[in-house]
Structure 1
């Protein structure tokens, strides 16, 4: 490879392009062993940036392929990783900024080495600058999480201030509590009695059994049950079920068994007799679980199968000493999960300037503010039409 300094003397523009190409690398070019080791040392868990998951997303998932990476090294160790795409690719905005590459799953907190958080954050920002970016846009990050805290420390040191573009509060589970006590405190005796009554009615269709598939042999059939349940409900009617799109189906069939090999994914299923009536995919990273998706058989809707499954999942996670908390990865005010999982944390989109007094950052902020306003107007119109 031609040395950058030598190439600069011959062709400055070309050398700049070479420097940019070194700053941003394809995700598939990263050493997966280094990536897995970083995930084990990450200051904050993020199951959606585990290599088996994110590589499957970037290789095949609809609209999410070919992400690049900002990668921070303390040679030879990987100490920071932030999957990204350009602002143009994200929203067709022609400004020099990078946006967190959105995995399937609403969490984009970067992986930062707990043994070197400040150095990792510093080098990630430097890589972004070398890639030509004037700003970073981090979508769906835990605003008070350890990863964002490390980024904020470096920004404060450098006299830079992030801007929160939007935020909401998301449900989580404190799995260190006794499951039965937690459910009684969350739902109350009257609601639990009604749910037990529904479960007894459900038993008329056969024994109600909660199953957890963990091994690669178990998880394949469980995944197919989940995909069929998801497609049979409202997601299938809207055309958003995973199995309805070849790339999405390929991604999930690749990611789930691979993660199961390292005990980082399980599928929970509720059966009524021979019928699977509800199923969910759960990722595991360090001491945190991530409730990815839920599918139900709507023929059994009167028995609240999604709630019944979530009650059993809550007991399951609370009984597991390896799990301290669980992220619902749900939207704000989710009607099913919020009454059950009463923990809360803030999720938001953050604009990070990479240079002081940079007018480009103001342009990026204005463009994103206008885009958010347009999206909110569109959502209000859609809600009215549905009514």
Structure 2
């Protein structure tokens, strides 16, 4: 276990390091076996920080490669905490001494903390970041009300510090312990369900409707290609965000899904009308939680609401699985399709964690992140305004 203990030791970097003259070990230095064992013991599930997923992201995903590792070990040398990070300069293009949790494509940056030593693990991660020269740690899309955040708050309190919530929102989640039919009736009502059944019957005019779940590595590899084709044929392709449009992203998802399927950590769901796939999705599993990563539909069948139909079948599938207690939609807040169906809410936000007391640089880092966020939202709003065709000429 000496190999793991060495990961907590910082190494000297070049004088060109934008944050400090220290560097953390690369994420790829973390042995997969201990990492996988930590994921199974994690106090809070995060399917996207499992090694088969995050290492695939780190290897080739566009803009997400080459992460460093904040790691924590106990006295026996056992890995008890892990958080992939990037320097703030890489994410925000600002040379300020802060580290940012690596966004693993799945919009959840909750660190892996051992359930039996969560507070100590969090304290070690923060101390390692501080020793690396960081004045703050920024966790984007962090679970705000779970046990991981509670452990971080307790570790900060030891040093008289408190986290700063930069933004917060609630996204759709599923209580998979409920009866699916009762849940859907409560969520959508009899009238909406009747309309969806009518659309499903119309979809059946194109062939018998069936819901398939690919689980084995071979099944997943085959079903993934169907999903990629569905996604590339829709609006994501027009926005340039379809996975198959970028070689690195395509390589990441092919590697991650098949590797995770080896241990039952990934499923590809597909809705068919006859022999034609009309909707598909990728589902990641970790502990007793599922994560609805992405969805793709055949736009030719859009009038039958194939994405909604797929989600109804997924809801029944997850509620019937005794191993799954909840599901995170990983969707944007207010998502028009899934929010009305999955009525539970999961608190998510961006958090700035100060690492030193009365540090004058923390307000500077806070303001920089805030200004960056405002600029991003303005640019995003302008792009939406232009795409919607509402901008007036002249």
Q: TM-score range by the shorter chain?
A: over 0.9
Pairwise CA distance, 1:225: 0.1
Native 8 Å contact 2:172 2:331 kept in 1: yes
Native 8 Å contact 2:163 2:352 kept in 1: yes
How many pairs were matched up? 373
Pairwise CA distance, 1:101: 0.5
What pairs up with 1:137-148 in 2 under 5 angstroms? 137-148=138-149
Task: Tell me which residue corresponds to 1:57.
Answer: 57
Native 8 Å contact 1:19 1:130 kept in 2: no
1:345 is the counterpart of 2:346: yes
1:270 is the counterpart of 2:271: yes
Q: Secondary structure at the match of 2:22?
A: helix
Residues 307-339 of structure 1 deviation map (CA, whole Å, 9 limit, x = unaligned): 000000000000000000000000010000000
Native 8 Å contact 1:87 1:95 kept in 2: yes
Native 8 Å contact 1:165 1:350 kept in 2: yes
Structure 1 spans left out of the alignment, 5+ residues: 1-10
Q: Secondary structure at the match of 1:25?
A: coil
What pairs up with 1:177-326 in 2 under 5 angstroms? 177-326=178-327
Structure 2 spans left out of the alignment, 5+ residues: 1-11
Pairwise CA distance, 1:377: 2.0
Pairwise CA distance, 1:19: 8.8
Q: Identify the match of residue 22 of structure 2 among 13, 20, 23.
A: 20
Q: Distance in 2 between matches of 1:47 and 1:131?
A: 27
Q: Secondary structure at the match of 1:268?
A: strand
Task: Tell me which residue corresponds to 1:32.
Answer: 32
Task: Tell me which residue corresponds to 1:3.
Answer: none
Q: Distance in 1 between matches of 2:174 and 2:20?
A: 46
1:126 is the counterpart of 2:117: no
Q: Distance in 2 between matches of 1:379 and 1:95?
A: 24
Native 8 Å contact 1:216 1:261 kept in 2: yes
Q: Distance in 2 between matches of 1:383 and 1:98?
A: 30
Native 8 Å contact 1:141 1:347 kept in 2: yes
Q: Distance in 2 between matches of 1:238 and 1:380?
A: 14
Pairwise CA distance, 1:76: 1.5
Q: Secondary structure at the match of 2:338?
A: coil
Q: Distance in 1 between matches of 2:22 and 2:377?
A: 35
Q: Distance in 2 between matches of 1:187 and 1:382?
A: 32
Q: Distance in 1 between matches of 2:20 and 2:278?
A: 54
Q: Distance in 2 between matches of 1:90 and 1:19?
A: 19
Q: Secondary structure at the match of 1:155?
A: helix
Pairwise CA distance, 1:18: 11
Task: Tell me which residue corresponds to 2:151.
Answer: 150
Q: Distance in 2 between matches of 1:20 and 1:325?
A: 40
Structure in which a larger fraction of residues adopt helix? 1
TM-score (norm 2): 0.92
Q: Distance in 2 between matches of 1:341 and 1:144?
A: 19
Q: Distance in 2 between matches of 1:172 and 1:208?
A: 26
Native 8 Å contact 1:263 1:284 kept in 2: yes
Residues 1-21 of structure 1 deviation map (CA, whole Å, 9 limit, x = unaligned): xxxxxxxxxx9x99x999934
Residues 145-178 of structure 1 deviation map (CA, whole Å, 9 limit, x = unaligned): 1111100111122110111111111000000000
Which piece of structure 1 moves more, 52-61 or 372-381? 372-381
